[in-house]
Amino acid sequence: MSHSPDPDEDDLGTTPAPHPLFHAEQALLGALLFDPRLRGDVPGISADSFSTAAHAALFTAISTLPPPDPAEHAKSAAWLHQVLTAGQEQARGLSASYLHTLIQVCPWPRHAPAYARMVEAQHARRRLRAAADRLVQTVHDASLPEPVQAVLAEADALTGTVDDIAARFPPRAGVLPRTPVPPPGTVPDRTEAAEEERLLLATATARPADIESVRWLLAEDFTQPLHAGLWQCLTALARRHEPVDPVTVLWEAQQRGLLHDGSEPSGVLRLLAEPAGSVGHWGQRALTRSLLATADQAGRRIQAYSDDPMNTPFQLVAGARRALADIGAIRTRWQHATGHSLPQPARAARAGPAARRAPAVSPPARPVAAGRTP
């Protein structure tokens, strides 16, 4: 997530933010200021990894300035002054006292790889949330001329983000998020959806031979439970090569218990008696609506996973891939229905279970804060 900081912004504050990430960022920056040689031990970190513009500016300065001679750094603050000057070009709120505070609050500089892993994990969470936000926003963008293509493009981008995170945090078996799944969103055009589903059911009843041509349409694609049940009745009758008309469909519905919810038989007969258009046309409309709803639900699931601080990056990857698989399944059906072949996103190479982990280090004797003068 890129930063566009206000040069006059002071996002340091006198009281650290309540999120543990703030302390991890401070510890990491303090370690790098105390011993710039540790920069090579945190390869997965960039300025974008930090949550504040000031911390990002400091890391940029640390990364771009030539590292000082260790012996000289131990007795001179010259390099710290260079870092401060460079950092203030992006965040004027930085001060020399804050740099010294960062050094003092770092518990163990040699634990920099562990601090970096924490910062990187939270950055992955933010990236995943932002990609899921874009997917959900695209689903609800009524101005798009080709909504399905736009939504699938965002789904591909989200998949790429997940794969990139997985390369650093490979998912582990049995670590799906325990975050409650949000309920399905409401259909924005519920009245239109219900009317089109009624036309689909009536047209399929009048032309049962066309049902075979829309095998890609499933009951789960309907917005109304009664409509979904009636579609199952129609497909069952057609599959058994039995007569199909409003009365036979009504009888099948009664056998399946669809009228137990209070639906009137006469109402069902009226619903099935007014065909219009073609089964394929209404079927594609229903499937398109279902694809957008599936993408919306997948995006909101990933948003919920990202917002839950108890989920590790490993769980986020596993949960996001499970949600994206639902989009992949209906994407395949939509391609069969429309004849559109959209390119699948390239899968990033997955790291092995033990790849790219922060190296283990043995803690040295704890440095005395008062004596930690660079």
Q: Is the pLDDT of residue 96 over 80?
A: yes
Q: What is the distance between the alpha carbons of residues 50 and 169, in angstroms, rounded to a whole number?
A: 18
| Pick from 134-143, 173-182, 190-199, 298-307: least confident | 173-182
Q: Are residues 293 and 155 in the same domain?
A: yes
| 298 pLDDT tier (thresholds 50, 70, 90) | very high
CA-CA distance, 81 to 160, in Å (whole number)? 40
Residue 343 lies in a domain: no
Whether residues 280 and 300 share a domain: the answer is no
pLDDT computed for residue 341 by the predictor: 59
pLDDT digits (tens, 9 = 90+) for 10-26: 555 444 445 789 999 99
Is the domain of 125 the same as that of 240? Answer: no
In this structure, the number of other CB atoms found within 10 A of the CB of residue 225 comes to: 12
Q: Is the CB of residue 113 less than 8 Å from the CB of residue 154?
A: no
pLDDT tier at 8, thresholds 50, 70, 90 = very low
Q: Are residues 236 and 207 located together in one domain of the fold? A: yes
**pLDDT of the residue at 212:** 94
CATH number of the CATH domain containing 214: 1.10.860.10
In a domain, 371, yes or no: no
pLDDT-derived band at 343, boundaries 50, 70, 90: low
What are the tens digits of pLDDT across the range 225-277?
999 999 999 999 999 999 999 999 999 999 999 988 778 999 999 999 999 99
In contact, 68 and 36? CB cutoff 8 Å: yes
pTM, rounded to two decimals: 0.80
Give the C-alpha separation, 19 to 31, whole Å. 20
Whether 297 and 336 have beta carbons less than 8 Å apart is answered as: no
pLDDT over threshold 60, residue 353: no
Is 44 part of any domain?
A: yes
Could you give the CA distance from residue 204 to residue 23 in angstroms, rounded to a whole number? 62
Q: What is the average pLDDT value for the chain, to the nearest integer?
A: 86
pLDDT at 184: 81
Let me know if residue 360 belongs to a domain: no
Within-domain flag for 372? no
Determine the distance from the C-alpha atom of residue 98 to the mean position of all C-alpha atoms in its chain, rounded to a whole number.
Answer: 35
| Predicted pLDDT at 158 | 98
Same domain? For 83 and 215 the reply is no
- Pairwise CA distance, residues 99 & 308, whole Å: 32
**Phi/psi at 216 (5° precision):** -75, -10
Q: Spell out the residues 6+ positions from residue 77 whose beta carbon is closer than 8 angstroms to its own.
A: 374
Report whether 42 contacts 116 (CB < 8 A): yes
Q: Write down which residue in 50, 82, 106 finishes a domain.
A: 106
The reply to whether 242 and 102 lie within a common domain is: no
Are both 256 and 199 inside the same structural domain? yes
d(CA 298, CA 321): 10
Q: 172 by DSSP, 3-state: which?
A: coil
Q: Is residue 112 assigned to a domain?
A: no
The answer, yes or no, to whether residue 344 has pLDDT greater than 60, is no
- Tell me the two tokens of residue 325: 């698989």
* Polymer length of the chain: 374
Greater confidence (339 vs 14) lies with: 339
- Does the pLDDT value for residue 366 go beyond 60? no
* Same domain, residue pair 33 and 164: no
Amino acid identity of residue 19, one-letter, is: H
Shared domain check, 214 and 151: no
Task: Single out the residue of 156, 134, 144, 128 nearest to residue 288, CA to CA.
Answer: 144
Six-digit token string for 171: 């998912």
Amino acid in position 347: R
DSSP 261: G
CB-based contact 28:112 (threshold 8 Å): yes
- Give 367's pLDDT tier (boundaries 50, 70, 90): very low
Residues 48 and 173 in one domain: no
pLDDT value at residue 187: 63
Q: What is the C-alpha separation between 143 and 122, in angstroms, rounded?
A: 33
Q: Which of 224, 257, 286 is the last residue of a domain?
A: 286
- Mean of pLDDT values over 337-360: 49
Predicted pLDDT of residue 260: 82
Domain range for residue 295?
121-182+288-338
What is the C-alpha to C-alpha distance for residues 53 and 10, in angstroms, rounded to an integer? 9
Number of domains in the chain: 3
Could you tell me if residue 71 is inside a domain?
yes
Q: Please report the DSSP string for 304-368 in residue order.
A: HHHH-TT--HHHHHHHHHHHHHHHHHHHHHHHHHH---PPPPPPPPPPPTTTTPPPP----SPPP
pLDDT at 12: 53
Average pLDDT score over residue span 146-171: 94
Q: Which of 259-263, 334-338, 366-370 has the lowest mean pLDDT?
A: 366-370
Q: How confident is the model at residue 44 (pLDDT cuts 50, 70, 90)?
A: confident
Token digits for 115?
């601090």
Top pLDDT among 240 and 372 is at: 240
Please tell me the predicted confidence (pLDDT) of residue 370.
Answer: 37
Which residue type, as a one-letter code, is found at position 156? D
Domain of 88, CATH number, reads 1.10.860
101 and 150 both lie in a single domain = no
Alpha carbons 249 and 265: distance in angstroms, whole number: 11
**Is residue 223 predicted with pLDDT exceeding 70?**
yes
Domain-located, residue 361: no
Residues 172 and 194 in one domain: no
Question: What are the DSSP calls for 175-210, one per residue?
Answer: ----SPPPPPPPPTTHHHHHHHHHHHHHHHHH-GGG
